[in-house]
């Protein structure tokens, strides 16, 4: 039985969706581009920044539901390296919101057994923000139920550059020729420990937005028109159900009738 099952009303749409899922074929790693906070606020006649606290609540619900479903890794795209171009007041508000959320969310993450990690060029953040990140990472380090990667000041191309620089330093230090670098060598130096099986993007946009470019070579993509603050358990279950209907071939021939995760 899913740990989520006791929390869902019998006969509800969520109950129907949950019963479609095979717990043995859930994705091991889900990534989400959390898009639409500003549009959500604008549609309600509010300033763009009003959408970000609502987006935090959607993230909280999604983290808890993924942990209860037994998904080992969740990666959320929170702040890209391009987001610095946004209005200064919005960026400042996002940094303050991050610090506030980390103080509030650590006890909840610990109750749910979630280990928190941040990926991106974190050295560019302020000392105050870095302290908040370091505190939350250290406070959740002993949790093993699920790993939550939060991509902050993150860019997929920058990650690949950082990985290549690290590989080059390693090989030069060992006296190994650079033309012997393999894909596995690069992968060892990426920010994440695994590649996403499923990417969920909200707000209907059909692009990767410089997110996990190396890791998503064979990721299944699910796009919903739902704006991120409105993303709830039902939408998550819909994405997981759709994932289990996919046939992942990884460049090989299709095995007709073999479900998605049997090939993963």
The catalytic residues are 35, 83
Cα–Cα distance between 174 and 125 in angstroms, integer? 32
Where does residue 92 rank: exposed (0-12), middle (13-18), buried (19+ CB within 10 A)? exposed
Where does residue 264 rank: exposed (0-12), middle (13-18), buried (19+ CB within 10 A)? middle
Q: Which residues contact 218 (CB under 8 A, 6 or more apart)?
A: 195, 248, 250, 251
Cα–Cα distance between 117 and 55 in angstroms, integer? 19
Which tokens hold the place of 183?
A: 């894909």
DSSP character for 226?
S
Spell out a b/e string for 150-182, using b for 16 or more CB atoms within 10 Å of the CB, else e: bbbbbbbebbeebbeeebeeebeeeeeeeeeee
């Amino acid at each position: 039985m899913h740990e989520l099952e006791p929390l869902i009303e019998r006969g509800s749409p969520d109950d129907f969706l949950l019963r479609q899922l095979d717990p043995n074929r859930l994705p091991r790693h889900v990534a989400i581009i959390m898009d639409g906070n500003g549009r959500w606020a604008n549609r309600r006649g509010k300033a763009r920044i009003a959408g970000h606290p609502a987006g935090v609540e959607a993230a909280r619900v999604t983290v808890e539901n993924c942990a209860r479903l037994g998904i080992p890794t969740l990666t959320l795209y929170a702040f890209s390296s391009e987001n610095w171009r946004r209005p200064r007041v919005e960026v400042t508000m996002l940094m303050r919101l991050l610090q506030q959320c980390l103080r509030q969310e650590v006890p909840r993450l610990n109750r749910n057994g979630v280990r928190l990690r941040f990926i991106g060029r974190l050295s560019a953040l302020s000392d105050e923000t870095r302290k908040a990140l370091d505190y939350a990472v250290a406070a959740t380090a002993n949790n093993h139920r699920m790993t939550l990667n939060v991509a902050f000041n993150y860019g997929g191309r920058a990650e690949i550059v950082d990985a290549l620089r690290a590989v080059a330093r390693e090989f030069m230090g060992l006296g190994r020729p650079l033309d012997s670098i393999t894909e596995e060598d690069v992968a060892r130096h990426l920010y994440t420990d695994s590649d996403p099986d499923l990417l969920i993007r909200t707000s209907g946009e059909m692009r990767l937005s410089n997110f996990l470019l190396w890791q998503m070579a064979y990721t299944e993509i699910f796009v919903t028109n739902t704006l991120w603050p409105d993303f709830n358990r039902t939408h998550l279950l819909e994405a997981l159900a759709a994932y289990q209907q996919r046939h992942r071939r990884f460049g090989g021939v299709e095995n007709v009738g073999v479900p998605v995760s049997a090939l993963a």
